[in-house]
Amino acid sequence: MRIYLPLADIELYNQQLYSRFAWAGNDDFCQLWGIDSQDGEEAEDMAMTMASMSCLENSGDAYTGRIVAALDADGSEIGATSDLGVFEVKTGFSWQRLVSLHLDSPEDLELCQQVRAALPAEQAAFWCRGNYSGEENQETPGWELWQKLAAEPLSWYDRSELEYLRRLLAANAGS
């Protein structure tokens, strides 16, 4: 199954790919988000989007954008579902398992900062898991910014570009 791990920029230097949670476009996830479970591409796109939005839970990253790693995993490598389509990750994955990385384009970094400033991390955590506590949340500027950012596609990078991305993010962090 294809899983999506939200990452902080510093995690690109870890020995293994690891995130506490992974998103997958499985049947439960599709039902939660109103996606046709036969449309695997839409399910994967939404799973990647929600994984990316969970990056907003981390406020201390040098890179203010979202980073998502896509990889294939066996069901035995992930734990129980914490929310529909969200799995606890049992252990790290080898970097050789990486299929692709997805990052915000430079043009979207300001919007990421606006969302982080307008939205408590706990709220981002709830929303990216499909947990909405009522209509009142959906009328806030934070909700509008969250939706706008969620609609922005991430740039796609092949796993062969990992070293390039590490250098690029390190250079941007230093400037």
Count of C-beta atoms within a 10 Å radius of residue 27: 12
Using pLDDT thresholds of 50, 70 and 90, give the confidence band for residue 120: confident
Q: What's the mean pLDDT in 61-82?
A: 83
Kindly state the percentage of the chain with pLDDT values over 90: 42
Distance CA 163, CA 31 (A): 37
Count of C-beta atoms within a 10 Å radius of residue 127: 23
120 or 160: which carries more pLDDT confidence?
160
Give residue-wise pLDDT tens across range 39-50: 778 889 989 999
Q: Where do the domains of the chain lie?
A: 2-155
DSSP 113-128: HHHHHHS-HHHHHHHT
DSSP-based three-state secondary structure for 16: coil
Distance CA 23, CA 155 (A): 18
In this prediction, residue 76 carries a pLDDT of 78
Distance CA 105, CA 123 (A): 24
